[in-house]
């Protein structure tokens, strides 16, 4: 038996393990769900990105072949956005049809409760949540990063998160005061004018010893030596200072290896949009930002990372909201379902934007800023579901 046939067989067995009612409603949910993925992902990439990409081709002379690559690389991101929206529309349409055809009334007369009717929607949403989480970890960050790299290399597009110029990194060390209190003291101040992905250019490094500036290193370029765990500097000068800040020695060099922190290289090479990183990359990068003392940027990454973690779980929220709205006795056409879907999506994203802004302003913690919209919608949907069940 081939792997394809074995997979189909296992999938069929898994589906047939569900009770007949769940299989029936899941089958009804699948068709509008897959249709919605195609519709929303196509609309998203066409309306949300295609016009901007066309402007880059016309105004910024982006090569057409590069534009086509970027277009296809952005599709995974819009599919990820379309997955929870498709759950919402599928539940609205399916439960709306069941209610319009009096199937809900018929099932209730047979003793099937409202809570029981919502279970298939929850099953679908849990499956989509898992798929979304994996997709957002393994596919979307890499595709987004590659798309951004193409734009930066092709048309030198500015990117607020990419560190390819003006790399600034303060390196602190922990010292213990006579009182026993621990504090952070500046050890090195690292600055590079440009970074091409491998080499730092036009560097200036200030070094302190006992709170006094002891040395200044100026160099044309430097490369991080992974094997030696040190920096290989080229064409520079070391200025050693006395206690009164006057020069004690000037040492020019062609090549010199100096043991300094790797963090500036990590900061520059790993800098990217939170949506261009998987979770492990984001957590590693936030450690570097903490070491650098970049509180503003750290807060933005913490909030965006929590929003990214919370996003796949909105499928569960939307499944409950969609089922609750669709299952009501009011008749609902497909056009009405689509309109309600747009209203609910707009309301959710507006709420997420407002709550995220509160997180950026330090009014809410990053965890609350990421998860509060899901919690509010889940509680609201649960309250309406309970009222329908009573």
Give 252-293 pLDDT, tens digit per residue.
999 999 888 888 887 777 677 788 888 888 888 888 788 777
Residue 11 has pLDDT above 60, yes or no: no
pLDDT band per the 50, 70, 90 thresholds, residue 228: confident
Q: Residue 17 is inside which H or E element, if any?
A: none
Cα 258 to its chain centre, rounded Å, is 36
Mean pLDDT, range 302-314, rounded to an integer:
91
Number of helices and strands (H, E) in the chain? 13, 6
CA nearest 29: which of 128, 132, 114, 102?
A: 128
Residues 6+ apart with CB under 8 A from 338: 89
> What is the DSSP secondary-structure string of 227-263?
TTTEEEEEEEEEEEE-TTS-EEEEEEEEEEEE---SH
What's the mean pLDDT when you consider all of the chain? 84
- Give the pLDDT of residue 61: 84
CA angle in degrees (0–180, nearest 5) for 37-39-45: 95
203 and 191 Cβ atoms separated by less than 8 Å: yes
Residue with tokens 């055809």: 101
> Over pLDDT 90: what percentage of the chain?
26
Taking only the tens place, the pLDDT of each residue in 366-378 is: 999 999 999 998 8
Mean pLDDT, range 171-177, rounded to an integer:
74
Residue 125 has pLDDT above 90, yes or no: yes
């Amino acid at each position: 038996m081939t792997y394809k046939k074995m997979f189909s067989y296992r999938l069929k067995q898994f589906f047939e393990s569900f009770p007949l009612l769940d299989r029936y409603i899941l089958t009804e949910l699948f068709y509008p769900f897959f249709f919605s993925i195609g519709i929303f992902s196509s609309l998203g990439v066409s309306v949300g990105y295609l016009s901007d990409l066309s402007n880059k081709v016309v105004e910024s002379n982006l090569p057409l072949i590069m534009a086509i690559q970027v277009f296809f690389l952005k599709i995974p991101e819009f599919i990820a956005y379309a997955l929870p929206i498709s759950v919402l529309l599928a539940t609205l349409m399916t439960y709306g049809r069941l209610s319009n055809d009096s199937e809900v009334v018929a099932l209730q007369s047979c003793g099937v409760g409202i809570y029981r009717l919502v279970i298939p929607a929850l099953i679908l949403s849990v499956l989509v949540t898992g798929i979304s989480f994996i997709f957002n970890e393994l596919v979307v960050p890499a595709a987004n990063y590659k798309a951004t790299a193409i734009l930066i290399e092709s048309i030198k597009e500015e990117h607020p998160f990419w560190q390819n110029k003006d790399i600034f990194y303060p390196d602190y060390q922990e010292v213990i005061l006579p009182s026993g209190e621990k504090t952070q003291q500046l050890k090195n101040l690292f600055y590079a004018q440009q970074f091409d992905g491998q080499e730092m250019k036009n560097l200036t490094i200030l070094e302190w010893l006992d709170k006094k500036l002891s040395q200044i290193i100026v160099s044309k370029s430097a490369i991080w030596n992974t094997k030696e765990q040190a920096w290989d500097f080229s064409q520079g000068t070391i200025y050693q200072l006395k206690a009164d800040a006057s020069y004690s020695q000037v040492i020019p060099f062609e090549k010199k290896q100096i043991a300094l922190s790797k963090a500036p290289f990590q900061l520059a090479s790993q800098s990217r949009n939170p949506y261009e990183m998987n979770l492990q990359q984001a957590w590693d990068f936030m450690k570097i930002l903490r070491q650098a003392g970049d509180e503003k940027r750290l807060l933005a990454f913490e909030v965006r990372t929590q929003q990214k973690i919370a996003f796949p779980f909105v499928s569960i929220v939307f499944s409950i909201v969609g089922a609750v709205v669709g299952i009501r006795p009011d008749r609902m056409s497909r056009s009405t379902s689509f309109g309600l879907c747009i209203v609910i999506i707009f309301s959710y994203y507006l709420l997420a934007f407002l709550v995220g802004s509160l997180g950026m302003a330090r009014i809410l913690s990053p965890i609350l800023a990421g998860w509060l919209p899901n919690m509010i919608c889940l509680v609201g949907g649960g309250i309406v579901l309970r009222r329908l069940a009573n």
